A and B are shown apart, each in its own frame.
Chain A
Amino acid sequence: MDTVTASQELNLDWTFQDGDTRIMKLPNPKNANELAPDIKDLVAYAVSNNILLGDKYGADVATIQSAYIVEQTSTKLDIKSNLGV
């Protein structure tokens, strides 16, 4: 029998003052209803401490443009049964 597993990933779409963006991906996010205060806290901290620059020299992080949870499903195929062996 095939085995289906589901997982979630939180994507945070950081935006910089020049309009460029970078996506941060975090697996196993909290419930969507609980995330907003912590995301606001994360943005405030990153901006005030000049955290997320990386390769974006010359453009400070502005905010998180969007945050969304991606549902991921993977299926591990039962090859033996499917092939009748």
Chain B
Amino acid sequence: MQAQKATLNLKITDSNLNSKSVNIGYVNPNADETALRTFAQKANNLTNNTLTAINMTVIYDLTDASGKEDGYWQLSSSDVTVQRSTTDTSTKVNATYITDAIDPPTLEIVEGGNITNANVGLRGQGSSWEVVLNYGYYTGNVKVKLTAPESSQYKKTSTYITFHITE
């Protein structure tokens, strides 16, 4: 589910009349606005600050249930057709994970191919990877799934690449 969340900021004035904003965290955007304002005032009652304004910011579509923001894959192509030849037995797709990655992604064949006549591998580091398909004598379709690493601070996003190897 795409989430919507609100950030509640209090603009407060200190005893020297300096103003600053205090972020008191994410709040339920579905809560009644009057209730949010009352909540902010009650939070401010815990301080010696003079409350001068309550700002509410709604941020759209940033988190999933895990609290992680969206990441996504950028591919040079998600659908590649290659004619098998005797001189070239592999092809590749460039894949970049936006916006961060430290560990390698995981890669699996989800359709077609097998370990003896077609296999896929990864080359690269960080966010930039090459998905290399060694098709050898294989003809047919190979669909692979590329998934961002768990260690990413962003969502564990998957993408698919389909290779068509023709005679």
A interface list, Cβ under 8 A from B = 10, 12, 22, 24-30, 35, 38-39, 41-42, 45-46, 49-55, 57-58
Whether A28 lies near B49 (C-beta < 8 A) is yes
In the complex, the answer to whether B47 meets A24 with C-beta atoms within 8 Å is: no
Cβ 8 A contact of B28, one of A25, A26, A35, A52: A52
Contacts of B27 in A (CB 8 A): 51-54
**Inter-chain contact A51/B28, CB cutoff 8 Å:** yes
Report the Cα distance A12→B14, complex, angstroms.
Answer: 20
Does B5 reach chain A (CB closer than 8 Å)?
A: yes
With a cutoff of 8 Å between Cβ atoms, the chain A residues found around residue B32 in the complex are: 49
A46 to B40, CA, bound (A): 10
Closest to A61 in B: B28
CA gap between A49 and B30 in the complex, in Å: 10
Any chain A CB within 8 A of the CB of B17? no
Q: Quick check: A53 and B49 within 8 Å, CB to CB?
A: no
B7 to chain A, nearest CB (A): 8
Main secondary structure of the interface of B (DSSP, over half): mixed
Closest B residue to A48 by CB, please name it. Answer: B35
Q: Chain A contact residues: over half helix, strand or loop, or mixed?
A: mixed
A54 adjacent to B46 (CB under 8 Å): no
Bound-complex Cα distance A35 to B47 (A): 9
Instruction: Assess whether A57 is in contact with B3, with CB atoms less than 8 Å apart.
Output: yes
Report chain B residues within 8 Å CB of A42: 39, 42-43, 45-46
Contacts beyond the supplied A27-B47, A27-B49, A45-B38: 18 A-B pairs with Cβ under 8 Å: A12-B46, A25-B24, A27-B20, A28-B14, A28-B49, A30-B46, A30-B47, A35-B46, A41-B42, A46-B39, A49-B32, A49-B35, A49-B39, A53-B28, A54-B25, A54-B26, A55-B67, A57-B1
State A26–B47 Cα separation when bound (angstroms): 7
B63 touches A39 (CB 8 A): no
Is B53's CB within 8 Å of the partner chain A? Answer: no
* Residues on A with beta carbons closer than 8 Å to the beta carbon of B39: 42, 45-46, 49, 51
Contact status B48-A55, CB under 8 Å: no
B99 shortest CB reach to chain A, Å: 18
Q: Which of B26, B38, B47 is close to A55, meaning CB atoms less than 8 Å apart?
A: B26
